[in-house]
Each structure stands twice: as C-alpha cells, then as structure tokens.
Structure 1
Amino acid sequence: MGTSVLISILITFLVVVLVLWLVQRLPIEGGLRQIIQIVVIVIGVIALLRYLAVF
C-alpha cells in the first residue's frame, strides 16, 4: 500500500512539473502566466495532501 502512495505522489509531482514547463512555453503575458502557475501549484499541493490522507 505504501508503494502505491509513493508512486501516486511521484506521478502527481511529475505532472505538475510538466504542466508548469508547458505554461512557460505558452506565448502569454507574464501576469497571466504567474496566475496560471499559482493555480497549477495549488492544485498539485491539494492533490499531494489528498494522497497523504490530510483531506
């Protein structure tokens, strides 16, 4: 059971990093880019906390 949680956490982390990298590649304004990055990070943290059974 612990291994599946670690794999889920790793996959979530990798997806968040990939999405942040893709956001950097988008041709959009800096302010909008920062807002999107913050939203992605918040969603990633919430997903990680869910895997750790905080929620």
Structure 2
Amino acid sequence: MLISVLITFLVVILVLYLINMLPIDGRAKQIARIIVIILGVISLLKYIAVF
C-alpha cells in the first residue's frame, strides 16, 4: 500500500512538472493542475480505502 501511495504521489508530481513545461497560457495550466491534483487526491483516497 505504501509503495502504491508513493508511486501515485510521484506520478502526480511528474505530471504537474510536465504541465508547467507546456507552452500554453496560464489559465489552461491552472485548470490542468487542478484536474491533476483532484485526480491524485481521489486516487490516494482509494488506496487508503476511503472509497
């Protein structure tokens, strides 16, 4: 379980970094960041067995 949480956390960080590198405007980056963070939190909650 701990390894799964760690991998999910690292994937979220990597995706957020890659979104920062994209040549798109700030509003689209902000929306993409929010979506990635929400998906990451839902995934982490699933591993903790809340859902």
Fold-level similarity (TM above 0.5): yes
- RMSD between superposed Cα atoms in Å: 0.2
Mind listing any 5+ residue stretches in structure 2 that lack a counterpart? none
Per-residue CA deviations over 1:6-34 (Å, capped at 9, x if unaligned) read 00000000000000000000000000000
**Count of aligned residue pairs for this structure pair:** 51
Aligned mate of 1:47, from 34, 43, 46: 43
Q: Taking structure 1 as the reference length, what is the TM-score of the superposition?
A: 0.92
Identity %: 63
Which structure has the larger Rg? 1
Mind listing any 5+ residue stretches in structure 1 that lack a counterpart? none
